[in-house]
Amino acid sequence: MYRNRCLAIHWIFLLLASCGVGNAQTYKYIRTGKANDIQTTPSAGVAMMGGGSDLDDAFRWLCQKANGGDFVILRAAGGDDYNAYVNGLCKLNSVSTLIIPDRQAAVDAHVYDIIRQASAIFIAGGDQARYVDFWKTTPVEDAINEAVAAGKPIGGTSAGLAIEGQFSYGALNDPPDDSELVSKDALTNPYFARVTVVRDFLDISILRNTITDSHFAKRDRMGRTLVFLARIMQDGWSKDPREVAVDEKSAVLVEADGKATIVGTGQGAYFLRPTKPPEVCRKGERLTFKDVSVYKAPAGSHFDLSTWTGNGGVGYTLSVEQGAVKSNQAGKAIY
């Protein structure tokens, strides 16, 4: 019922926009390459990039999936610097940046059409709170999900990766100074106001029941991500959530069947899965959450998201006791 209501609202917004109802256009569309879109046959896949330096291999992989078509970069702020970068790496009909800075832009009929006609979609970094605030329950959300359902590839880096899973850290209560939620604060109080987990934004089938995170080892996000998983279970959203967490300068490239390859020069990716609910996950109390399975996958290794098994990496277990993260890995390393 909720989805049907959103679709009805979507089409009302599109009708109003097509009739010229509303204020002046606020989106920006910058295109490189041929002026007209072409029809190609893209192939499905998901690129999850951890942020930091962009990875040529990951973008080439997305371009191959686009099959020479039209590559669209989505963002809520910033410029068109990706256009020249992607155009220099790949042979495509066009590369374009679509900046959607508010909900007014997100209900514009032309914005919906641009996304719908894309052969590949890439969501840039920035502030995922803007993506949630500006795009959720709008035609932008529907257009992205329709493209993915049609078998078109999608990628994201940093904040763009953070919103790819069914569950996401929304960053909705982060302060204006852009300081991020640190693991210590989350572990001390899982219901700290800045621990904002959202759900059901993008619908990427292989990432259902999954939360995604970026800049992982580089910014020491393990503690806070364990809190996210505990909250998902404690709040009744899922009994068996999973996590794909990607370090800077690393990417996870997932084929349509769920088989993934890890590339890049960072510490790779971490695949987490709780084995039991948290023992203590309450407001104002330190988290206790035991026996979370972790698979660390460096560059060159593989992981199957369908079976949740990997090769070329190492598995270990983490437990949180009274807000302190402990590992059974050699040297008790958390990462």
Residues 6+ apart with CB under 8 A from 83: 30, 31, 32, 73, 95, 96, 97
In which band, very low, low, confident or very high, does the pLDDT at 3 lie, cut at 50, 70 and 90? Answer: very low
3-state secondary structure of 167: strand
pTM over 0.85: yes
Report the C-alpha gap between 47 and 212 in whole angstroms: 12
Over the stretch 76-122, which tens digit does the pLDDT of each residue have? 999 999 999 999 999 999 999 999 999 999 999 999 999 999 999 99
Q: Looking at the chain, how many residues does it have? A: 335
- Residue 239: both structure tokens together: 């009994």
For helices 81-89 and 56-66, what crossing angle results, to 10°?
80
- Assess whether pLDDT exceeds 60 at residue 183: yes
CA–CA gap between residue 220 and residue 183 (Å, rounded): 7
Three-state DSSP class for 32?
strand
Distance between CA atoms of 174 and 117, rounded to whole angstroms? 34
pLDDT confidence of residue 179: 80
Nearest to 166 by CA among 127, 201, 122, 213: 201
Whether 303 shows a pLDDT value over 70: the answer reads yes
Give residue 9's identity as a one-letter amino acid code.
Answer: I
Nearest to 196 by CA among 280, 129, 136, 127: 129
Query: To which residue do tokens 């493209």 refer?
Result: 147
